[in-house]
Chain A
């Protein structure tokens, strides 16, 4: 059971996922990936580029059903997803993008918009936003529907370090407030350690789980020393997996 103490929300048991390349040959992308998340748990999914992180998220979100194994989620649940690209509707304003995705207008939405610094951009169209702003709109959209499961695919990639750090803090405070179960993909170990209370590491392709580590200390109380310990431990596990 998760440290958050709740029931299990998500159970992943992917035995095999293959993908067919244009050339016709099929290759294994994921093999024996299994873990489960309790309600309110924040899990970071780590792994090198191309190891199948996005593929796994698509299986979990139900966008891809062609695989061996099972993904179990409650029948009635809302998923909020931040894709690797913002995926906003270019022909609708920021405010409309949020509304169309199902964000109920009100105090909560206003708070999310304010936290992410979007208040001045509600009337803009996505084409008028910088990539960083568009990313923030995508994050706001996922949060604003108060999801049971929040899935984020490298939401801070290709943003400058300062902005990424700020958005991480904002993400943490939003997760604290809404208590959504969260699965965040990253290939930044420090980002994983600072955000999550659970870290799952995938091997290089074909992806399988090579480490599944709980962080017992509450996120905000994590000392630099403790973080360094965890980092060293993860590095050891990854090295062992590569060697073996």
Chain B
């Protein structure tokens, strides 16, 4: 922990020094950014925009994880489904995020559904591919055990399948959360009237780096906090059964 803190401190010092070097217009010093953060927070705009973006991240992330995991599970367990859906998945994986976003706005309209759907669609193939890997590696012996002891569907999912998929779901979550919030910002920049992405768009039009950082950094902090205080504890909880090395 002290090492991490020292490292962060070095970053701040470098930032301050760089700002002196490049001029405060190109890179405003930390305190100037902090002042804008404070002002935006007092006016309430910061909370509104962070909240809007966070809500979009959570909605599209949940959607992508749920649908992607279900798709991956089906594809991993059924050869037929895999052959049928694999080409679609490859197309979707290779479609640039921007194309999906613009198409969604054109076809569905400049609304929340299009925004969240587009982000989810960008993340979904990624989750599906990861979970498919996990579904292919499911233990056949445990599957047979579940059949012999006539476990119901729900019990099989909860006690046999999901615990085996947990590492794959964790990997998808980890890469997913950061991917999703980055794409959410683009979606907001292109077609939403609020959110961190929208504010960054405004800052870009004004060439206002201070404002840009004042929105970007608190949001990065928020995502880091989610990772540390929500994702990691869940990971620790689901892997608590693994024997500790002696």
Contacts and interface: CB of A to CB of B under 8 A. Distances in A.
A128 interface: yes
A178 interface: no
- A interface bracket (residues with beta carbon within 8 Å of B): 20 to 34
B148 A90 contact: no
Contacts, number: 51
A41 to B, nearest CB: 20
Interface in B124-170: 141-142, 144-145, 147-151, 155, 159-160, 163
B141 A100 contact: no
B169 to A, nearest CB: 13
Contacts of B88: none
A125 B141 contact: no
Contact of B148 (A79, A89, A91, A100): A79
A61 B148 contact: yes
Interface string A127-156: 110000000000001000100000000000
A87 B238 CA distance: 20
Contacts of B148: 61, 63, 79-81
B241 A102 contact: no
A63 B160 CA distance: 17
A159 interface: no
Given A87-B141, A87-B142, A63 B147 contact: yes
Nearest to A58: B144
Interface in A54-110: 61-63, 78-81, 83, 85, 87, 89-92, 96, 100-102
Main secondary structure of the interface of A (DSSP, over half): loop
Contacts of A89: 142, 159-160, 163
Contacts of A141: 149
Interface residues of B, number: 17
A26 B160 CA distance: 32
Contacts of A80: 148-149
B242 interface: yes
B155 A125 contact: no
B87 interface: no
Nearest to B142: A87
B96 interface: no
Nearest to B163: A91
Residue of A91, A92, A145 with most partner-chain B CB within 10 A = A91
Contacts of B155: 100
Nearest to B242: A127
A91 B241 contact: yes
B221 interface: no
A91 B142 CA distance: 12
Contact of A101 (B149, B163, B238, B241): B149
A225 B149 CA distance: 40
Contacts of B141: 83, 85, 87
A238 to B, nearest CB: 31
B145 A87 contact: yes
Contacts of A87: 141-142, 144-145
Contact of B241 (A63, A125, A145): A125
A145 B145 CA distance: 13
Interface in B106-136: none
Contact of A145 (B149, B159, B242, B243): B149
Nearest to A96: B159
Given A83-B141, A127-B241, A128-B243, A102 B150 contact: yes
B150 to A, nearest CB: 7
Contacts of B160: 89
23 contacts: A62-B147, A63-B148, A80-B148, A81-B145, A81-B148, A87-B141, A89-B142, A89-B163, A91-B159, A91-B163, A91-B241, A92-B163, A92-B241, A100-B149, A100-B155, A100-B159, A101-B151, A102-B150, A102-B151, A125-B241, A127-B243, A141-B149, A145-B149
A-B complex: 10 closest residue pairs judged by Cβ atoms: A127-B243, A91-B163, A101-B149, A91-B241, A125-B241, A87-B145, A81-B148, A87-B141, A100-B159, A63-B144
